[in-house]
Structures are given as C-alpha cells and as structure tokens.
Chain A
C-alpha cells in the first residue's frame, strides 16, 4: 500500500469501516496492504501454512507459476479498485470488493493481518480453530 498517501489510506479506511464497522480496528488496512503486496514475498503471502504445528515451521505455502499469473492479474485489478476508492470514484462493483475484503479482514484467519487477536471471532463467539491452534498475525 506504499503507493497510497496518508489521505488515500484515510479514504480507504473510511470505506472499509462503512462496509463493516470495526473492520479497521480489526486490522483491515493491514489486511489489504498485505494482500496487495502478497506477491512481493517468496513464497507469496497468499496461503498460510499450518506452521510449527505441522512440524516443519513453514509459514506460507508455495504457489505455482500459473497461479502466480492469476494472482498478479487479480491483485492488479484490486489495486485499481483501491485507487478508485481513494479517489472517491468507486462504483458498486468496487464497493463489493471492499466489502468482501472487510469481511475477510474481520472474521478470517489472523495470519493474514486482520482479525487482530481473534477479536472478530470472539465477538461472534466463533470457537478458536483447532488446526493450527492459536495462529496469530504474522
């Protein structure tokens, strides 16, 4: 999200929070930032691995070259979405993308940067997943 100014980030945060109130406190900006930068890492930060629980300490699963191509396309489209959101030019389709990301950030696995300390799950009384136990934000 380094391509965004503080003003852009504030605008994006406002739209995320409007979609799912509390999502920014849950880490939605961090979630979006990590998502848009997922391919900057090797392996990409797209699929969290079970980690220590699985015995090998692997944190992220490798992806294939064609999956990388698809994700580059998808993330490129989402970068455009967030540019429009920041510019106040988002349409209904863009708002739908933001809504989905806000939901994922609030109620998804903390490994991806959202759902800080599992607060989203606690609020809806969703039990801590068993495999792996207690995966926190990486």
Chain B
C-alpha cells in the first residue's frame, strides 16, 4: 500500500515547486522536511504562521536552522588541509519548512541564454570542467514565466539591456527603490554600467492572498513577518489546498528504499525527529517517484550515504566566489529600511573588450564576473561583534562604518566547476544522529580570483564616485591565512555563500553526469533531482529562480502536466 504517488524530500523552492506542479496534475504528494515548521499552518485553510519578527537575536540563535551543534559541516580547501580545516557552519541554508526561500531576500533574476552553453560560447579553461547544459534557455523559458507567476516576482522589462528574452511580463512592478541604491546606480551608470531594478520575489502589491512588502528592512537572512516573500510559501499553500499534499516536518530522510533490482525507488526511510532521544525510523512508500530537493549539499550527502548516483556525486561543487566592495559614507545610507537589495548590474557577466584584456593579462582565455548587488550593510548586533572590544567600541558603533554609513556591492562571481571541489562525507565527524557530516572541499579557480581582482578596484572607484570616503573589498572564501579569519572575520574562513550548486550534474552522458536531462538519476530513474545540485555551471546569478524553473520543468515532465501559466494565479 503506497502512502502517495510522489515523495518530495525537502520543502524549499525546488521541493515546493515540484509539489505544486504534481498536486495540480492530480498526483498525491508527501513532502518530507528535516527542519521544523515556522512558515505555514499544516491545517486547512493553511494560513501563514506568525513566527517571524524583526529579531536579530532569534536569527543568530538558529531559529531557521540548522543548529551546527546538531548538524555540523566541515570544510577544507584541499587534501593539504588534512581531513578538515574547521567544523561548524559551511554554506548553510535554512533547515526549516520552506528551506532557503525563507531566509533569502528573494532576488530572482533569470539567467541569460549564454549561461546554458558556456563551453560552446566561450570555450574550455584549463583546470575547470566547463560544459554546456543539456537544455537551453528556450527550453526553460516557459517555466521561468510559470515560477515568476507562482512566487510573485516584481520586476520591470526593458531596463536591463543584457536580460534574456521573455514571453510573459513580470507579474507586478518593482517595489520602492532604496534611496542609496539610486545613488550607487547613478555612479555605476557614470562608469558605463547598466544598473537596473532587481527582479525580486517580494510583493509590491497584494498578490495571491499575501500582503505587500512595507520595507521593514529585515529581509535578507530573515523570515518575512507579513509573508510578502512568495518563495516558497505560495507554492506550498497551493499544493496543500489541493487536498493532495501533506507536509511532514522534523523528518530526516536517511535512506532511499529500492526495489529488489535496485533500479527503482519505492520510498524513503526517515528518522522521526519529533521523538527524542531515540528517534524511530519510519518508512513512506511512493507509487510513482521520489523527488530529491534537499539542496546541493544535502542531496549529494543522501546519495553518498546510499551509494547511489555514481562516482560524480558531490563533485563540481560551485557556490559563487563572492567579492564585497564596501563604501563608507559621511552621510547615513538608509539601509535599515528596504528589501536589502533593490538594484543589480550585470556588466561583468557579459563579454567586453575590458574583460578580454583582463583575461589575457591573467593568462586565461576569458573572464566572467557575476551579477552585482547594490545593498545595505549588516544589522547592529552583527556590526557590534565585528568591532574590537573596549572603549573604542562605543565610538565604532557611533560612527558605524560597517552599517549605518555603509553601502555594499556584492558580486556573485561565477566560480568554475572543478573536479576537486566537492561535497563528500567527513571521515569521522558525525551529526547528532550518528550519520557522517557533510564535508566541503573547495578552493577557487584562477579564473574566479582573476574576476574578483578585476571587479574589486572597478567597484571601489564607483563607490568613491558615489561619495564614499573610503572603499575597500574582501572576498568569501577569504584569501590568505585561513586561521586569521577563524574568529574575527564575520564571514568566517569557509565559503559563506548560500548559493550552493552543481553536486549532481545533469547531462546527456551517464559517464560525465549524475542525472539525465529530465533530472532523473541515471541509475535509479524514478528518482528526480529538483534542486541546484543539477546545475552544470554557476552562471554568476542568484540560483533560486533557475532551480525552481528546473523543478517546474522536471515535475511537469514527471506528471505530464501543463506549465503553471495555463492555470490560475493572480
């Protein structure tokens, strides 16, 4: 007796989108989520929960999970660091109902056409595994439109000259601009760049039964108190309201159950974490498929524990090489209110004579940076912990060089896929339930460092033109001696990016990929991966809309259903 047609492991943007598509097509779905539920009532009429507030302390106390004492991760740059360099938080995304969508400030840009065929358009780079995707932008375009409509993306057409073509308009216009973003955008324009208003999954008007954003200022890193962020509560609510979806929180999937031939999954086994200290193992059976959507860290960890997916599972990890350029201004920048980031520019993603020259100087055939976010500084507690102790602490907080007077350009630099960058199982560190912790082995490619080195002075000059008295840059992961970053660097020594991608690569050849173009495991073909694990390259753009569009496509193929744009979303 099956419990459902499809089990979805993970309730973030990928899993939520898959659940929405599958239930709309008439299939029954059980979503299994490791974390606790702070997002949506699981009883009809499935109203949003009111757990979130403008509370930096709760955020620091792991309200959204995971607690690193329960779920430690380990990090090393390479084998020369031994088994690990550190234990703690590495690339952490929330472990909670809604996953990474809950904490994100929901910048949801589409990727560009070239991002799906980088090998063909730019060529190989030594030491990297640059490859074309097995699908192209035109294959994904209707699904981009569908998930924009589902989540409620606010944006405007025609202002980004580098944007890919689109067949449908944004569901709503952008919200209010952050005033300082207008200043930094004007400076970027004077430098020949093309800033534009960021496509954001935050309501600029009431949409799909959820409120409009009021720019409270607690966006990036926080759950939304009024649920103006649509990703992924909108998808989960729609799935639940079909009556064909059930969400089980606090349930840690440990095993994919296979049929005797080992070619099909019949379900999952999971630990019931509502019980303590001995969580019982329970089993769910699915009649049709199992969707993996735990993210590009947890999905390969599950596959590795189960010995599934082949030798490439976990490899080609990418997470964006982030370059932060901070400008310190005499006047306050007003970053306490607004949606964290309201403007972007893409100029360092597209080919240009300047980038070609920089590539040549670095001995590389080409160079790509990433989307650049114009955004605010940090919260006051985070700022306070950054300054040295003692009498000068009060003065530092009063002058507030890292918050009130700060503006930041964050470049989500495309990091090239490398064989040696990976997620695997730590040889000795275990989680609270005795399972091997996930380990990240990651070091940037020379391309990533060269792109960062090119971008940093460029953006420092823009900051100064915008009025900054001081401008400087830093990266994550940091450069230099890692031990110097262990305590005092607020970003730590490990990659702080939450853009985790590429650990179960998609392709047309099982010898060089983990999943098929339909995102099915080559070796267990009713297991469908619906998260950023399947990414072939990292593009230098925020990954969420693309992973959701891929989930929408894969789930539609699984269900044989029509894109959401044919259904009813206001």
User: Using a CB–CB distance below 8 Å, which chain A residues touch chain B?
Assistant: 18-22, 46-50, 53-56, 61, 63-70, 73-74, 95-96, 99-100, 103-104, 106-109, 111-112, 120-121, 123-127, 129-132, 135
Provide the residues of chain B in CB contact with A20, threshold 8 Å: 384, 389, 393-394
The answer to whether A61 and B63 touch across the interface, beta carbons within 8 angstroms, is yes
Q: Cα distance A73–B62 when bound, in Å?
A: 14
B391 on the A face (CB < 8 A)? yes
For residues 459 through 494 of chain B, which have their beta carbon under 8 Å from a beta carbon of chain A?
487
A56: B residues at CB distance < 8 A: 50
> Are B70 and A70 in touch, CB under 8 angstroms?
yes
Contacts of A47 in B (CB 8 A): 55, 58, 61, 63
A111 to B57, alpha carbons, bound, how many Å?
10
With A69-B70, A69-B432, A127-B337: A106-B384 Cβ-Cβ less than 8 Å: yes
- Which A residues are CB-close (under 8 A) to B52? 50, 131
Which of A21, A121, A131, A135: most chain B Cβ within 10 A? Answer: A131
List B34-54 residues whose CB lies under 8 Å from chain A: 36, 38, 50-54
Which of chain B's residues 205-260 have a Cβ closer than 8 Å to chain A? 214, 216-218, 225-226, 250
Looking at chain B's contact residues, the main secondary structure is loop
Q: Which residues of B contact A65 (CB under 8 A)?
A: 273-277
Could you tell me if B393 and A131 are in contact, using CB atoms closer than 8 angstroms?
no
Query: Are B273 and A108 touching (Cβ within 8 A)?
Result: no
Query: What are 26 pairs between A and B in contact, CB < 8 Å?
Result: A20-B393, A21-B391, A47-B55, A47-B63, A63-B36, A64-B276, A65-B273, A65-B276, A67-B36, A70-B70, A99-B389, A106-B384, A107-B383, A107-B397, A109-B53, A112-B57, A123-B397, A124-B398, A124-B404, A125-B404, A126-B336, A129-B216, A129-B218, A130-B214, A130-B225, A132-B53
Complex partner residue of A64 from B51, B274, B384, B391, CB under 8 angstroms: B274
Residue of B57, B214, B380, B390 with highest tally of chain A CB at under 10 A: B57
Contact (Cβ within 8 A) A18 B54: no
Asked whether B218 lies within 8 Å of A131 as measured between CB atoms, the reply is yes
Chain B residues with CB under 8 A of A107? 56, 380-381, 383-384, 397
Contacts of A108 in B (CB 8 A): 56-57, 381
Q: A103-B384, A126-B380 are known; give 4 further A-B pairs, CB within 8 A.
A: A69-B276, A69-B432, A108-B381, A125-B332
Q: State the B residues within 8 Å of A (CB).
A: 36, 38, 50-58, 60-63, 65, 67, 69-70, 214, 216-218, 225-226, 250, 273-277, 332, 336-337, 380-381, 383-385, 389-391, 393-394, 397-398, 400, 404, 432, 487
Given known pairs A22-B394, A69-B432, A127-B337, the reply for A100 and B385 (CB within 8 Å) is yes
> Whole-angstrom distance between the alpha carbons of A5 and B209 in the complex?
55
A18 & B389 in contact (Cβ 8 Å cutoff): yes
A48 touching B57 in the complex, CB below 8 Å, given contacts A65-B275, A70-B70, A131-B218: yes
Contacts of A61 in B (CB 8 A): 38, 51, 58, 63
Contact present for A129 and B54 (CB under 8 Å) = yes
